[in-house]
Amino acid sequence: MIIHREYPVQAGDYITAGEASADIKRNLKQLGVSGKVLKCVSVASYEVELNLVIHSLGGVLMLDVDSDRVVLESKDIGPGIPDIDLAMREGYSTANEEARNQGFGAGMGLPNMKRNADTFSIASSPAGTCITMGFNLKEQ
C-alpha cells in the first residue's frame, strides 16, 4: 500500500463538495499518476462524492493506492438505493430540487462511475450503500 486516505462527506454540503476529489487528484498527481487514468479517477471520485452529498445521510470516501491499482470506496449510512438497476440507468435521477438547482440530477452519476472505472461494484440496503471502484495503473 502506497497511500490510504479517508474523507468524511456531509449530507447536503454543496459548499465543500468536490474538496475530497480535488485532494484525491492532488495525491495521485504527486504519485506520478497522469493522463487517462488520472481523469477517470477524478471524474469517478467527483461523481461518488457528489452522490454522498446529494443522496446519502452522510458517509466516507476512501482512497487506496498500491503499485498497480487505485481503489475508491464510498460507504454511507443510508438511506439506501431501493432499485439499483433503475439507478444505474442513464437519465434516471431522484435528486431533489436543491440539487437540480445546482446543476446536478442529470441521472449520470452512477453510469459515469461505471464507465470510468475498470471494476465497479455496488451494494445497498436501508442501512447504507457501498460502492467500490478499481482503476488499473499498469495500462498507462
Partner 1 sequence: MKVSELAKLIEAENLTPGLTDRDVACGYSCDLLSWVMAHGEENMAWVTVQTNMNVIAVALLSEMACVILPENVKMESESLIRANTEDMTVLASPLSSYEICGRMHAAGIPDRA
For the segment 71-110, give every residue that binds partner 1 (CB under 8 A).
102-109
Question: Quick one: 112 or 129, whose CB is closer to partner 1?
Answer: 112
Task: Give yes or no for residue 50 binding partner 1 (CB under 8 A).
Answer: yes
Residues that bind partner 1 (rule: CB under 8 A) add up to a total of 24
Instruction: Say whether 94 sits in a helix, a strand or coil.
Output: coil
Instruction: Say whether 51 sits in a helix, a strand or coil.
Output: helix
Task: Give yes or no for residue 20 binding partner 1 (CB under 8 A).
Answer: no
CB 94, min distance to partner 1, A: 13
CB 1, min distance to partner 1, A: 25
C-alpha cell at 116: 470510468
**Residues 28, 58: Cα–Cα separation, whole Å:** 25
- Cα within 13 Å of Cα(48), Cβ side: 36
Residues in contact with 109: Cβ distance below 8 Å, sequence separation at least 6, in sequence order? 47, 48, 50, 51, 93
Question: Quick one: 5 or 125, whose CB is closer to partner 1?
Answer: 5
Interface stretch with partner 1, choices 3-11, 37-45, 72-80, 125-133 (CB under 8 A) = 37-45
**Residues 55, 79: Cα–Cα separation, whole Å:** 8
Task: Give yes or no for residue 115 binding partner 1 (CB under 8 A).
Answer: yes
C-alpha cell at 104: 446536478
Binding interface with partner 1 (CB under 8 A)? 14-15, 17-18, 21-22, 25, 39, 42-43, 46-47, 50, 102-109, 111-112, 115
